[in-house]
């Protein structure tokens, strides 16, 4: 076995990195960089220094781990988090929500989480975010809270106006956002990671598992599940969703969010086998879901034919679920065409869910005017439709109508508080 192979094996043992996932050349470049820094004659000489020089292993890890992130990356997941967080915050006013972001890199993700939760109306005193990364260098940059233009790649950028101050070289993050985040150094490969901490309501671990081999992925998912509460949610990257499904975790069912939860036998037993699948909408802005009605005690009843309207409504729910599935796979144009066909076809009158779905699809493909019209139609049909209120508020923010966006969010939050007592 060559010295280079030994170094790759050591990196896998220490941080779980499968060298093939980033290309052997990336590890070779990092070794070459560190060899030059230590003036090592060759790879074998560097191997000896790697074991005999204090902190050199961490220096090699820093050279291999190149941060690649930006604010509101995979925006739908972050904004869906706001919806779920607001639901929990309003349902239990004594609860302080706990969120974990791992790896947090230079801070863009945990700070995006904080901004999404603040925008969703969760009071600052009601949530805390632990942000963990193996890189001390990345954590130092996160603590500075100063970012250049490359950190703002995902439109819309309305959040930048609310939470950043322009400087000569970029933007400085609002101290209110930074105060919500605790930055910690840690390693997901460590089986005792955060062992002394209470579990988390929400765990974000996106675009890290793809760098592990299969056994490492399984161990990492087990650690993430340990860190989450029984009713907690795990958010991963688009390419990692199948890894969680393979280990028995259940999709939350919100397209484009890649959110999962632990299986709950009681929940599965309580779900009627014949119940229609409810389509979940990908969220631009978080909105607490409506509370389910109290269950009605079951009693024997004669079997009656299913009314035509009920069958049609069930068919519409199934159709929306299929459209949501297309969106989740990235088939946005096909999903839009299917949604338009559903609205134009025969059956019961168009409902707010269908128009909201159409608005989301138009929104995702950059058709701003069509998205605006679809959300307005949804709110005409249901003035208290939570998803549409928040989606339209986010759209108005991108158009510069911040007052209008604020009024919509306040309207949605008043409705939520009313239904949570």
Q: What is the DSSP string of 48-100?
A: HHHHHSTTHHHHHHHHH------TTTTHHHHHHHHHHHHHHHHH-TTPPEEEE
State the Cα–Cα distance between residues 141 and 115, nearest whole angstrom.
18
Model pLDDT, residue 123: 94
Model pLDDT, residue 233: 96
Model pLDDT, residue 238: 78
Burial of 33 (0-12, 13-18, 19+ CB in 10 A): middle
Model pLDDT, residue 82: 92
Closest-CA residue to 207 (of 58, 361, 66): 66
As a CATH number, domain 75-266 is: 3.40.50.150
> Where exactly does CATH 3.40.50.150 map onto the chain?
75-266
Model pLDDT, residue 38: 86
As a CATH number, domain 315-419 is: 1.25.40.10
What does the block give as tokens for 126?
């009601």
Model pLDDT, residue 394: 72
**Do 97 and 128 touch, CB atoms closer than 8 A?**
yes
Model pLDDT, residue 270: 54
Closest-CA residue to 286 (of 83, 86, 74): 83
State the Cα–Cα distance between residues 260 and 73, nearest whole angstrom.
18
Reading across the β-sheet that carries 259-261, which strands appear in turn?
A: 181-185, 127-133, 97-101, 200-204, 228-235, 259-261, 250-251
* Torsion on CA atoms 339, 257, 113, 393, rounded to nearest 10: 10
> Where exactly does CATH 1.25.40.10 map onto the chain?
315-419
Q: Which residues of the chain have pLDDT under 50?
A: 273-308, 420-421
pTM above 0.85, yes or no: no
Model pLDDT, residue 306: 43
């Amino acid at each position: 076995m060559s010295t280079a192979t030994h170094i790759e094996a050591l990196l896998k043992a220490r941080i779980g990195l499968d060298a093939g996932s980033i290309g052997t050349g990336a590890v070779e470049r990092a070794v070459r960089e560190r060899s030059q820094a230590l003036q090592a004659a060759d790879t074998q000489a560097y191997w000896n220094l790697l074991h005999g020089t204090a902190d050199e292993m961490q220096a090699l890890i820093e050279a291999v781990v190149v941060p690649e992130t930006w604010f509101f990356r995979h925006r739908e997941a972050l904004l869906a988090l706001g919806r779920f967080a607001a639901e929990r915050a309003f349902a239990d006013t004594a609860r302080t929500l706990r969120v974990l972001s791992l790896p947090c890199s230079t801070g863009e993700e945990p700070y995006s989480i904080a901004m999404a939760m603040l925008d969703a109306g969760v009071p600052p005193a009601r949530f805390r975010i632990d942000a963990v990364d193996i890189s001390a260098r990345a954590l130092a940059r996160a603590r500075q809270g100063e970012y250049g233009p490359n950190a703002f790649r995902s439109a819309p950028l309305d959040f930048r106006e609310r939470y950043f101050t322009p400087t000569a070289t970029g933007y400085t993050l609002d101290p209110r956002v930074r105060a919500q985040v605790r930055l910690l150094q840690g390693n997901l490969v460590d089986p005792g990671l955060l062992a002394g901490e209470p579990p988390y309501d929400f765990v974000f671990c996106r675009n890290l598992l793809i760098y592990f081999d299969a056994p490492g992925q399984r161990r990492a998912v087990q650690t993430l599940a340990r860190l989450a509460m029984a009713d907690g949610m795990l958010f991963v990257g688009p390419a990692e969703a199948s890894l969680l499904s393979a280990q028995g975790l259940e999709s939350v069912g919100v397209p484009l969010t890649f959110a999962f939860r632990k299986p709950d036998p009681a929940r599965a037993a309580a779900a009627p086998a014949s119940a229609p699948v409810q389509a979940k909408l990908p969220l631009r802005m978080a909105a607490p879901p409506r509370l389910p009605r109290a269950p009605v005690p079951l009693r024997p009843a004669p079997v009656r034919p299913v009314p035509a309207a009920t069958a049609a409504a069930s068919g519409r729910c199934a159709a929306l679920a299929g459209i949501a599935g297309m969106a989740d796979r990235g088939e946005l144009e096909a999903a839009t065409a299917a949604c338009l066909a559903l609205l134009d076809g025969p059956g019961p009158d168009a409902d707010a869910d269908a128009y909201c779905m159409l608005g989301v699809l138009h929104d995702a493909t950059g058709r701003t005017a069509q998205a605006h019209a679809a959300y307005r139609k949804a709110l005409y049909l249901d003035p208290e439709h939570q998803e549409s209120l928040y989606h339209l508020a986010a759209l108005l923010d991108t158009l510069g109508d911040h007052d209008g966006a604020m009024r919509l969010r306040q309207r949605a939050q008043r409705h939520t508080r009313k239904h949570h007592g």
